[in-house]
Amino acid sequence: MERESAWRKYDEAAIAELEKLAAGYIDFISENKTERACAAAAVKLAEEAGYQPLSEVIGSGERLAPGDKVWACSRGKAVILAHIGSEPMESGMNILGAHIDSPRLDIKQNPLYESNGFVLLDTHYYGGIKNYQWVAMPLALHGVVAKTDGAVVQVSIGEDAGDPVFCVSDLLPHLGREQMEKTGNKIVEGEALDVLVGNRPLPGAASDAEPKDPVKTFALQLLADKYGIEEEDFLSAELEVVPAGRAREAGFDRSMIIGYGQDDRVCAYTSLAAQLALAAPGAQPPHRTALTVLVDKEEIGSVGATGMDSLFFENTVAEIMELAGEGGMLRLRRGLAASRMLSSDVSAGFDPAYAGVFETKNAAFLGRGLVFNKYTGARGKSGSNDASAEYVAVVRRVMDEAQVSFQTAELGKVDAGGGGTIAYLPAKYGMDVIDSGVAVLSMHAPWEVTSKADVYEARRGYEAFLRNA
């Protein structure tokens, strides 16, 4: 059952659509490198498509009717979009779910220090990274600083052409013999991932009159001048260190995209695009209410107030059903149990350089379309949702009818490792859930690679699912 390259079926019109989508996607992941930025961008696009804030609808006492569109956001990091369908929600909804957080370096709460004429920021890595991949490359700083007076300062340094960038230094090979004898997880240890942010002492002071840490003092002065930030403000900051620079087209043929954060913003963007397509001028309301859920914290277990394991999803659906005249716990439970969901997250793309960890008959290949994983998990399917055969058949029908190129895959050889997504969490309601997504090379690396064809097929497949599942 080998799948053909999706590229073979495209005519000029399809190629034009594909390139337009890819350009928008490149812009999205280049301009939104944190979960907060992705959430804000999703809300902005939703409002442009006619979505209302759910909070305002609740406050006004309005009712929701078929065709109405609302959004909700949790703490600026998780978003739910809902397009009310013509059928009762009690009979089930069609749901897309993806996550908008990505592996990175987080700045610690007490991070700034000076050492031997350098000033550095101490970090704590977030999610599963290979530490050694984050050294000796340009890095940018993004996030917010919350001040005690209630002000929240937006920080973004390292993306504009005139901005400085930062880096984590590495040891030169001439002195690196002992380093290179270490195992991969010890070549660069977590506590060594400190970000170099300055080397110039405070100008104007005589050497005998300099403060104790003149380089640190100067760095703090620059932060105070530009952002009004004091050292104590790091205590209530969320600052993320990510690769600097835009995503780019890759390959002589420009068939691929290389960029940071494609796990899982490639699925988040295509899910968002599919959801908003339902609101196109002249379009009929979907039969089943369509939901897109973009959540935080997947890379660290989907925990916290903004992760899929929170009650944000359930509470929001309850509010929407109440406003649609379907309130009550029993109706909510019935609606969730009767729903269908694609848990959209990336799959490990087959890499010929590392063919030994893949089983080729059940591997995801770049360019062959949307990937479905009946089960994820590790080794003996540990931690897997494992979608039912009946639901897999439904998904196959939807994709075939829409002529969406798709493939099925596992996460590698049985004993090679594994992983999971948010799928098992909504599945607890009794709804049908299957993992889907886009094949990625170099997953969790600072720069990941996807195929434009797979991005396009994901967008097409997600819309088909929302309309026809």
Query: Can you give the pLDDT at residue 415?
Result: 63
pTM of the model: 0.95
Query: Can you give the pLDDT at residue 208?
Result: 65
Query: Does residue 440 sit in helix, strand or coil?
Result: strand
Separation CA 422–CA 364 (nearest Å): 19
Q: What are the structural domain ranges in the chain?
A: 6-102+260-468, 104-243
For 390-426, write each residue's pLDDT tens digit: 999 999 999 999 999 999 998 777 766 667 788 889 9
Separation CA 104–CA 88 (nearest Å): 41
Backbone angles phi, psi at 445, to 5 degrees: -80, 165
Averaged pLDDT for residues 185-206 = 90
**Are 6-102+260-468 and 104-243 equal in CATH topology?**
no
Residue by residue, DSSP assigns 440-451 as EBSTTSSSEEEE
Please give the CATH topology (third level) of the domain spanning 6-102+260-468.
Answer: Aminopeptidase (3.40.630)
For 237-275, write each residue's pLDDT tens digit: 999 999 999 999 999 999 999 999 999 899 999 999 999
For the ranges 38-52, 319-333, 353-367, which has the lowest average pLDDT? Answer: 353-367
Averaged pLDDT for residues 11-17 = 97
Residue whose tokens read 């004091």: 230
Select the CATH number that applies to the domain covering 104-243 from these four: 2.40.30.30, 3.30.70.890, 3.30.70.580, 2.30.250.10: 2.30.250.10
Query: Can you give the pLDDT at residue 207?
Result: 64
Query: Can you give the pLDDT at residue 422?
Result: 86
Name the E strands within 272-369: 290-295, 340-344, 347-348
Residue 377 pairs in a beta bridge with 419
Query: Does residue 116 sit in helix, strand or coil?
Result: coil
